[in-house]
Amino acid sequence: MAEIKEWKDAVKTPRPAILISDGPAIPRRKDSGLFTAWRISFIGAIAMVAYLAISRPDPYWKILKFIPDGILVTFQVTIAAIVLALIIGLFTGLGRISKNKILNGIASLYVEIIRGIPLLVQLFYIYFALGRIVNLPAMASAIIAMAVCYGAYMGEIFRAGIESISSGQMEAARSLGMTSSQAMRHVILPQAIKTILPPIGNEFVALLKDSSLVSILAVSDLLRRGREFAAESFNYFETYTMVALVYLIITLLLSKLISIMEEKVGANR
């Protein structure tokens, strides 16, 4: 193990950042404008929710008491989908860099097809179209559709993360007697994980926002619960204002956690 550490240190090269366009803006301290905007938005959203709930408990406080179970369902769908998407993305990423033409072709075809179809269409297809063949519950259909969709994006993140590692790492591992799969599992992937953690966190927040689409399948997420309250009370403006503020608080909080994670990962490189 000491030999492995020595040659890993010897061939270590700076890892390029993986940039993706989807997801939230991450409040990094070096970007003072965005960091200030994040603080204003986060504190302002919390203050607005508190003000509305206190000044007008009917309907705002009633709305807050009505939607917590929807927030829980939103996180359940998001976490389950992101875990499944990570598994799909890992195998897709490995397939994308594989020298086996069949595996590479299948992985590339999956990425191109899935990324070319809107998530909403995939939700309808799995729940309604495939539902005529396999009758899946709404929650399961939503999780599968989102995992399949985001698995394609995760695949590209894994591919980019693996390719960001110097080829000398693989060559050195092979020279020590490791097979390609052993080198990938014990040497390349552990280092690639540090590179891909921030974009994975970014995709997690993006997936959480897109989870609002599952409400069309009658999944009782945050948006669905808001729609139910609005339909009963006819307070559409108040309900969707509160739902929007809750989504904003959640995404801003998660984006800050991603920023902290990026700083820690960057410090350990």
169-179 tens-digit pLDDT = 777 877 887 88
pLDDT above 80 for 237: yes
What does the alpha-carbon distance between residue 254 and residue 196 come to, in Å, rounded to a whole number? 17
Query: Could you give all domains of the chain from N- to C-terminal order, each with its CATH number?
Result: 67-242 (1.10.3720.10)
pLDDT at 42: 92
240-255 tens-digit pLDDT = 999 999 999 999 999 8
pLDDT at 78: 95
Cβ neighbours for 81, distance < 8 A, ≥ 6 positions apart? 142, 143, 146, 147, 150, 207, 211
| Sign of the CA dihedral with 68 first, then 228, 218, and 52 last | negative
Annotate the chain with three-state secondary structure.
Answer: CHHHHHHHHHCCCCCCCCCCCCCCCCCCCCCHHHHHHHHHHHHHHHHHHHHHHHHCHHHHHHHHHHCHHHHHHHHHHHHHHHHHHHHHHHHHHHHHHCCCHHHHHHHHHHHHHHHCCCHHHHHHHHHHHHHHCCCCCHHHHHHHHHHHHHHHHHHHHHHHHHHCCCHHHHHHHHHCCCCHHHHHHHHHHHHHHHHHHHHHHHHHHHHHHHHHHHHHHCCCCHHHHHHHHHHHHCCHHHHHHHHHHHHHHHHHHHHHHHHHHHHHHHHHC
pLDDT at 80: 96
pLDDT at 268: 62
What does the alpha-carbon distance between residue 63 and residue 228 come to, in Å, rounded to a whole number? 10
Question: For all residues of the chain together, what is the average pLDDT?
Answer: 85
Q: Are 137 and 78 in contact (CB under 8 A)?
A: no
70-115 tens-digit pLDDT = 999 999 999 999 999 999 999 999 999 988 999 999 999 999 999 9
Q: How confident is the model at residue 17 (pLDDT cuts 50, 70, 90)?
A: very low
Who wins on pLDDT, 225 or 257?
225
Q: How confident is the model at residue 35 (pLDDT cuts 50, 70, 90)?
A: confident
